[in-house]
Structure 1
């Protein structure tokens, strides 16, 4: 109890908490996009519940991983060598998750590209997905993103209460952000393709990271932000064009 009171009174602890919350939210964007796209494949009545289940599972996984700090530390140690390169269990998890994400994003892109028209290209009109299958795929990616997130958090602070608080707050933020993000993605087919491209890039990055070629996340998120800005300008241009066409006699 005294240690908790000391943390509450420590400005450095609050600074670490805010930094960690921001980092967890940013790192959770990939997971949030994946859950939004996957839930939009379900009937509308099941979407919100699936999003909540997916994010709550992510919360449970991260809290469980935080309670096993000693085991998490062992994940970064070399487990075996192949072709002169040492692989840890974290590397294997990242490679497996990256391959899954590349496969999933590629298959979703193929479905949208082969759609007959723009209406058919919306997420909700693609091949239906069961709730169990959606939750199963969410669990796989939750595990990958959780391991990466927790290892990063462990490297930023040594105080477990700060890590627990940051994880809980970040998941709560994503719970509020998930429904509007999913609706926005579902209503805009071009945004769907952009989001799937993001997931494809993230998958390739996870694979590269697993093989020891670390790509700074700041570069990836900067590229994603620029692409989103360009697409938002295109959306505004298309809306203005429709308004001009509607105002003509």
Structure 2
């Protein structure tokens, strides 16, 4: 207890905590977008529960991994070499997660572009997932993002209490933001394509990092923010034109 009091009396510890919370929230955006898109494919009554379960699984995984931080640190050590390139277990996890994310995002984009729901003409055909299947897919991505998140935390501070608080704070933000984000994505179909494009880019980034090519995440998130800003402007323009059309028809 005395150690905690000394730690939180240190301004540097507070700065590290604030920085780490922001970093964990930014890294959690990818996971949150994926959870929102998947949960929107479920019946409305199951969406909020599925989102909560997915996010709480992310919290449990990250806290559990923090408890094995020494083992997590070893994941960055080379495990084997292939074609002259050394791969670590972290690289393999990132590769698997990136491939899964690319496969999932590509399938969803194809689904939206070809309007398969309209072609089928069957009632309820838009629902392609069960809650268990959605939670299973969320869990797969939770593992990938949790490992990446914990390795980032370990690299930023050596104090376990700071890591635990930062992870819990970031997941709580995700928990409160999940339903508003899900409703926003559902109300704006163009946002779905933009979000899927983000997931595709993130998947390719994970694959690149799995092969040892570091991609600065700041570039990715700045590009995502700019794209979101442009789409927001387009939405405002469409809304203004819609109002003008309604006014002229009256």
**TM-score bracket, shorter-length normalisation:** over 0.9
**1:41–1:125 contact (8 Å) kept in structure 2:** no
The Cα offsets for residues 74-119 of structure 1, whole Å up to 9 and x where unpaired, read as: 100000000000000000000000000000000000000011799x
The Cα offsets for residues 202-236 of structure 1, whole Å up to 9 and x where unpaired, read as: 00000000000111000000110010001001100
For 1:89 and 1:117, locate their aligned partners in 2 and report how far apart those are by CA, in whole Å. Answer: 39
Residue correspondences, number: 245
**2:109–2:196 contact (8 Å) kept in structure 1:** yes
**1:87–1:211 contact (8 Å) kept in structure 2:** yes
For 1:196 and 1:89, locate their aligned partners in 2 and report how far apart those are by CA, in whole Å. Answer: 27
For 1:70 and 1:237, locate their aligned partners in 2 and report how far apart those are by CA, in whole Å. Answer: 52
**1:50–1:131 contact (8 Å) kept in structure 2:** yes
For 1:105 and 1:157, locate their aligned partners in 2 and report how far apart those are by CA, in whole Å. Answer: 33
Partner of 1:205: 205
Q: Which secondary structure state, in structure 2, belongs to the residue aligned with residue 41 of structure 1?
A: coil
Partner of 2:75: 75
Aligned-pair RMSD on alpha carbons?
1.4
Does residue 51 of structure 2 align to residue 51 of structure 1?
yes
- Deviation of 1:36 (Å): 0.3
Partner of 1:192: 192
- Deviation of 1:125 (Å): 6.6
Q: TM-score, normalised by structure 2?
A: 0.96
Does residue 84 of structure 2 align to residue 88 of structure 1?
no
Does residue 109 of structure 2 align to residue 109 of structure 1?
yes
Partner of 1:62: 62
For 2:117 and 2:135, locate their aligned partners in 1 and report how far apart those are by CA, in whole Å. Answer: 29
Alpha-carbon spacing, 1:97–1:178, altered in 2? closer, same or farther (3 Å): same
**2:43–2:127 contact (8 Å) kept in structure 1:** no
For 1:78 and 1:2, locate their aligned partners in 2 and report how far apart those are by CA, in whole Å. Answer: 38
Unaligned runs of 5+ in 2: none
Unaligned runs of 5+ in 1: none
Partner of 1:97: 97
For 1:171 and 1:59, locate their aligned partners in 2 and report how far apart those are by CA, in whole Å. Answer: 6
Q: TM-score, normalised by structure 1?
A: 0.96
After TM superposition, which residue ranges in structure 1, 4 or more long, deviate above 2 angstroms? Answer: 124-128
Q: Which secondary structure state, in structure 2, belongs to the residue aligned with residue 137 of structure 1?
A: helix
For 2:126 and 2:110, locate their aligned partners in 1 and report how far apart those are by CA, in whole Å. Answer: 11
Partner of 2:241: 241
Q: Give runs of aligned pairs for residues 5-16 of structure 1, distance below 5 A.
A: 5-16=5-16
